[in-house]
Structure 1
Amino acid sequence: MYLRGCARSRGRLSRSAVLHDQDLVSGEGSSIATGITSPTPSTISEMTTQLDSLSMATDDSDRYPTTSKFPKTRPNDLSCKQGESGKEISLVANYIKMLAAPKWDLYRYHCSFEPTIELRKIRRETLAKADIKDVAFDGTLLYSFEDFGLEKMIACKHPITNEPLLIKIKRTSTASPESPEFFHLANLIVRKLLEIAGLKLLGRNYYSFDKKIELERYKLTLFPGFMTAVNVYEGQLMINVDLSTKVMNKQTVYCILMDKFNRFNDAKQAQDASLKELLGQIVLTPYNNETYKIMDVAWDKDPNYQFTKRDGTQHSLCQYYEDKYHIKIKDGQQPLIVVKASKRMAKRGPKKDDPGMIFLIPELCCITGISDSMRQDFSLMKEMSTYTHVGPNERFEQLNGFLNDIQKREEGRKELNKWQINLDKELVQLTGRTMEAEPIMYKDRTIKYNPLEADWSRDGRSLMHLSAKNLDKWILIYCQRDSQVAHSFVDALYKVCTPFGMRVDFPEMIELPNDRPETFIGAIENKAHPQLDLICCILTNNRKDRYDAIKKVLCVDCPVPSQDLHTPQSI
């Protein structure tokens, strides 16, 4: 996409002020007075005098003085941003134009429920049961063409439990197609169209459960779907739509924990193996379709853990899930997982002492994505790529099919007519250009590469570079068991860097007795100084707490260029 309307400040120092600054700086042609601190004006008259030295630019020559170091990237005689070089080709973009000029007034209301209803689906069913007609509802904000007044309270019953409920509706504003809120409305409309097309919400995007792909060998399920966003592009309201695939593991967190404890006789080893497998994983809770990131496992807590709700009452997790989601916990002895939640979710339910953290029950959490061990499985990644890496032709067919499916459905057309909106019948088409391969200049020669491959790494390893940063003073820190790997790395680095003109001296080798974070930090603090070119650490695994601690010391406490290598993947 081209960037349009890029704002540039028109306030510039006048030419006389720039020349005056040049007299203050040694070195002809400089337009920046470095190291000069102007006195702070003490009176209004002094401030006015300083402001008088500023002038507003009236043309491009004033905007970029000839003595300025800032280059002019656009010629004065250029009026069009489209180029002429290269060969023209027809392109199709993953954008759909929204063709409409609707005229309506829409009322926006804030809805609350007493007692609170967690699921948005149940909230929507409650509104329908109370005969509240809405055109869009995101769980809290309700948009309707009907005027309910400034405030309204409606008594009804829960659609599942038949318990009495109270719906409070309060008008917050009146929106129109010209208001900034229309972007939010347009995204809600697109989400409604996705639901009409039979897609279901998982996390933030919508996926097709009918077209799911089972990988029985790896206990994985792939859900194809779409991600969408509505915004103004090139002066036109468009829907940006792209393919998305949700990877779901058939195993729950509880299954993984049980597998680890069955494999190891020692409880401490089982806990360490579980943490290594689970930390950083993204889980999905099917009862509310929310996703969370696992930060820790609370081994000292179980589903009978008591927490304080917003109304001050004490509840156990078992009671909470049975009351809110009608779910009975099967294993009351399982530990709890600590997850990072959004600000909205962190305000609810079973909180942890740390802000933004909440407790979840492992048997209710499904693993999403794939683990590091799965990523290293070549056969798994190859099989998954056949479904997730889609070529241009297949991508076009799926996006075009998505657009046709929406327009063919009667319910989808009614939804668009309700909003007085029409969608274009095809994806956005435009004309592009294929450019010739740029020459790449090395110290001794200039080469060209194949644009279809866009790969010049072979020449980059064998030809002398124009400039290379030498490693004269550097430190290599590693564990005792990685001693052979460390020496092999130094030898390989010397062989690779020498051909393209990078000098690599032998580093100061620091061998550590263990791989604990505090051991690495102690060695770094003892040896780090600003004259070093690099501190390189060879790590035995990808523990995030150790990596974060090392980077904090080398970026904040002792700023030195650094590189961390993971033994199985990087060497």
Structure 2
Amino acid sequence: MASGGFYGRGGRGRSILDALKQPARKPGQQEEQAQAQAAAPITPQSSDATPKPPAAPITFGRGGGLLAMMQKAQPSSQPGALAETTAPKPAPAMPFTMPIGRGLGGMKELLQKAAQGRGMPAPSQVSSRPSTSGSSTSAQPPAEPVPSSSRAPPHPSAAGAAPSPAPPSEEMSRLAIYERREAVHRSGSEGKVMPFSANHIRVKCKNSGVFQYDVKFDPVIDSKGMRIGMLNEHKAVIGQTKAFDGRLLFLPIRLPQTETVLHSQRKTDGINVTITIRLTTVVDPTQCAHLYNIVFRRIMSILDMCQVGRYYYNPHTPSQVPQHKLEVWPGYISSIKEQEGGLLLNLDASHRVLRTETVLDVMCQYRKNYNISIRDAEQPLLINRPRKKREPGEREPKIEMICLVPELCYMTGLTDEMRSDFRLMKDIAVHTRVTPMQRIIAMKKFIRSINTNDEARKQLENWGLELETETIRIEGRLLKEEKIKMRQKDFMAGPEADFGRDVTRSEVLVAVDLRNWIVLYTKKDTPRATEYIQMMKRVCPQMGIQIQEPLRRDLKDDRTETFVRNLRESVNPRVQMVVVICPTSRDDRYSAIKKFCCVECPVPSQVIISKTIGNPNKLRSVTQKIALQMNCKLGGELWAVEIPLKDLMIVGIDVYHDATKGKRSIAGFVASTNRTCTRWFSRVHFQLPHEELVNGLKTSLLSALRTYHEINHKLPEKIIVYRDGVGDGQLKVVSEHEVKQLATCFKHFPNYEPKLSVVVVQKRINTRLFYQTGPDRIDNPPPGSVMDHTITRRDWYDFFLVSQHVRQGTVSPTHYIVVHDGSSMKPDHMQRLAYKMTHMYYNWPGTVRVPAPCQYAHKLAYLVGQSIHKEPSELLSDRLFFL
């Protein structure tokens, strides 16, 4: 378990914290401890007392809860039935009880909105039925919920249907399985059909539904642990399998009565407590993904997997890298979601690199640097204070202190020095870069380990779940190769979408002659600088760029002040380009040079590390790439692809979080300004700390539209926005907040209503696509592979695109989610445009993972956030000065 940069081991590979928590996993022990802690007397209240409704919607934890993800309003009780407004800490997993805490607590927010307009009975309409005969359950006759007449048919992945309705009472006629929206299906048809598979496994749902109950305690019990303990006393009635967050109870079976009354005794003071369990909703099993993910976390523990960070790894079969004091733990990333093709388990192989040196070893190494000795007999302990949210009735959250022994704690993660070691990273890659076939084998091994483990298999069976043994097989499409257009000839990008050799042998689309430029270097690098200049004179004319002798400045030393002072003395308005050859890579020197050239005295600049041009055998190819980059920074255009759409503007947006200046966020905005999308306008905006969404979009887009009009003498008719850096939880905010900002810009121009589409680009995803080359053989999909059905989102218009070719490991597709579709483009056109844009990043003569405007916006935001920390001069806004 990771905590503060280290992890603990008890015995072999077991976290210290895990070992300490093991006793808490025994059945009933957690509830007994919670009851013992709740010693303060609680004033009894009448059974008809109704808690006050919360002032704002209630959500638990980061995930927003199980049904908060659905947002489709199931029928439930009215908002006034909810009492708790704080997020309780998740209780440890138990063999048969799964406290929901952060995962399912978000259902309360949904319940506040569910009853409105759905015909659900309010709590005042349902009479409290305490038992008068002293029995543990009420004598109310059973009744089945009545499905809604407008309900969609059961999902194909569900094995069973809803129970047949019995003659309902007036109360039960209002109870229904909620009405579902139709799935969003937007698929294309162009391209070659190819057999694909993905790291998704179908999940079969055998139960007709998950039954949701509202649980009330009379008198009111404030302690969540005590409520869980009291409910656990009645397993003979409610069964062994349940999920309970203190108020909402979810069962895989339906209780005989609609309202069940149970009786318990509070152990702290002996007061009798009446527990009323009322059926409120029958949830479609395919929409309980968050609940099933909690089940899978329990299965990971059953399989003796160790949680490090967010994911689970196997500490018993590590791969050793002894020469670097490292070991690699194999693991899995799992997530169940309802996709367009039903309930699917997204399963991917993962690896965690851990250091074999302990915290004590690192502490003892201080002696070498500071001459400080650490005595083992007086070994200090590491203090860990985990964050705990406030419980109901607490003024301040309780602070729990955990003391860890450094001798038993091992360091996690890699240092910057390790990451810069090419040999070390290469040795690690042997274990972490797995082929598609190796991923498939790992997934099958995981499924087999679940099916052969009785306890793990029982966890799934209790909720009516069953996993298929094979990964899903689907058909995808391969888009056509793109034609690359240069000044004098065109050529195809090729099956691997790598056209670097053809680009360097052809004249660029638009060349800017280099006539007035400066080269700065130290005396030590004089020979390398001379060879570089001579090579520039040879390769530039072949690419259509005319070049003249530069002004050379020989520096006496390599101090940052010396570089900046010479720049101030040399740069004037006639200088086109500044080339600085640095002897070593130093962030402070690079930042000072870029800040001068981008803010103080705006001029395109090129910084070259001396080692880069030090190998005579590679000097020609390196110089060609530098020359192309310099031509872009001067305002030139390298190549283009055919874009049939006219009057089109393409926008790219990304956000970088600055580590300095109070952790501000820098939003990079880039927009095309010509028909071929080869010229770009750029802007940056600084935002509040931790703010991800862009609030300065309006100003940036207005400036881009004015620039577009100045160049083309008209405004664009279509605007496609590619938005990077957005997680799943922000999709609705982007579709509503940012789209509205963009739309308000159009009112500043008379009679202007362009067609706008906003596409979220996600590259940090766990989905993998595999090309089925044979019955039992798979490989990486080629560039241009598209998947737009089955594994896509059920409620969004989206698709996956593989745009780049990889030679090692498994290729990662990019996920495109169209959160606003106002351009009326066909899915084929939207997919093809995204693929075309991956060819247009001028820093690489090939395809990249994301569209070029997204990569440009990332480079701009990164440069400002990492080096400049100020807004660049507007004089550079029409050039790619940030490459």
Residue type at the aligned position of 2:403 = H
TM-score, scaled relative to structure 1: 0.51
Contact 1:97–1:423 (Cα < 8 Å) also in 2? yes
Matched residue, 2:413:
368
Q: 1:176 to 1:529 in 2, by over 3 A?
A: farther
In the alignment, which of 62, 78, 94 is matched to residue 199 of structure 2? 94
Deviations 1:386-423 (A, max 9, x none): 32222222222112322333344332333234444444
Contact 1:231–1:239 (Cα < 8 Å) also in 2? yes
Residue type at the aligned position of 2:330 = P
Contact 1:205–1:225 (Cα < 8 Å) also in 2? yes
CA shift for structure 1 position 213: 0.4
Matched residue, 2:509:
466
Matched, 1:245 2:290: no
Matched residue, 1:105:
212
Residue type at the aligned position of 2:357 = Q
Matched residue, 2:546:
503
Contact 2:532–2:613 (Cα < 8 Å) also in 1? no
Q: 1:522 to 1:393 in 2, by over 3 A?
A: same
CA shift for structure 1 position 478: 4.2
Q: 1:213 to 1:229 in 2, by over 3 A?
A: same
CA shift for structure 1 position 92: 0.7
Matched residue, 1:429:
473
Partner Cα separation in structure 2 for residue 106 and residue 521 of structure 1: 70
Q: 1:510 to 1:495 in 2, by over 3 A?
A: same
In the alignment, which of 188, 193, 196 is matched to residue 299 of structure 2? 193
Matched, 1:225 2:331: yes
State the secondary structure of the residue aligned to 1:242.
strand
Deviates more, 1:404-413 or 1:176-185: 176-185
Deviations 1:340-393 (A, max 9, x none): xxxxxxxxxxxxxxxxxxxxxxx9661523655665444x45543332222222
Contact 1:478–1:486 (Cα < 8 Å) also in 2? yes
Contact 2:382–2:404 (Cα < 8 Å) also in 1? no
Q: What are the ranges of 5 or more consecutive residues in structure 1 without an aligned counterpart? A: 1-78, 110-122, 157-173, 271-284, 291-309, 314-319, 331-362
TM-score, scaled relative to structure 2: 0.35
Aligned counterparts, 1:125-204, within 5 A? 145=250, 177=283, 184-204=290-310
Residue type at the aligned position of 1:406 = I
Partner Cα separation in structure 2 for residue 522 and residue 178 of structure 1: 70
Matched residue, 1:388:
432
Q: 1:387 to 1:448 in 2, by over 3 A?
A: same
Q: 1:215 to 1:499 in 2, by over 3 A?
A: same
Partner Cα separation in structure 2 for residue 255 and residue 425 of structure 1: 45
Residue type at the aligned position of 1:208 = N
Matched, 1:413 2:457: yes
CA shift for structure 1 position 212: 0.5
Matched residue, 1:216:
322
Aligned counterparts, 1:556-567, within 5 A? 558-567=601-610
Contact 2:305–2:314 (Cα < 8 Å) also in 1? yes
> How much identity, in percent, do the aligned residues show?
25
Partner Cα separation in structure 2 for residue 175 and residue 488 of structure 1: 77
Partner Cα separation in structure 1 for residue 549 and residue 367 of structure 2: 46
Residue type at the aligned position of 1:201 = Q
CA shift for structure 1 position 177: 4.9
Deviations 1:152-191 (A, max 9, x none): xx999xxxxxxxxxxxxxxxxx998579995654543433
Matched residue, 2:499:
456
CA shift for structure 1 position 533: 4.5
Matched residue, 1:61:
none
In the alignment, which of 295, 304, 311 is matched to residue 205 of structure 1? 311
Q: 1:440 to 1:257 in 2, by over 3 A?
A: farther
CA shift for structure 1 position 463: 2.2
Partner Cα separation in structure 2 for residue 107 and residue 510 of structure 1: 79
Contact 2:358–2:406 (Cα < 8 Å) also in 1? no
Contact 1:212–1:223 (Cα < 8 Å) also in 2? yes
Partner Cα separation in structure 2 for residue 548 and residue 365 of structure 1: 35
Residue type at the aligned position of 1:227 = I
Matched residue, 1:73:
none
Q: What are the ranges of 5 or more consecutive residues in structure 2 without an aligned counterpart? A: 1-184, 217-223, 234-239, 252-258, 269-279, 373-380, 387-394, 615-883
CA shift for structure 1 position 448: 4.1
Q: 1:155 to 1:410 in 2, by over 3 A?
A: same
Q: How many residues align?
A: 379
Deviations 1:51-102 (A, max 9, x none): xxxxxxxxxxxxxxxxxxxxxxxxxxxx97433543x331111123444463
Residue type at the aligned position of 2:474 = L
Q: CA RMSD in A?
A: 5.3
Q: 1:417 to 1:216 in 2, by over 3 A?
A: same
Partner Cα separation in structure 1 for residue 229 and residue 564 of structure 2: 60
Partner Cα separation in structure 2 for residue 434 and residue 549 of structure 1: 46
CA shift for structure 1 position 506: 3.9
Aligned counterparts, 1:235-274, within 5 A? 236-251=342-357, 255=361, 262=368
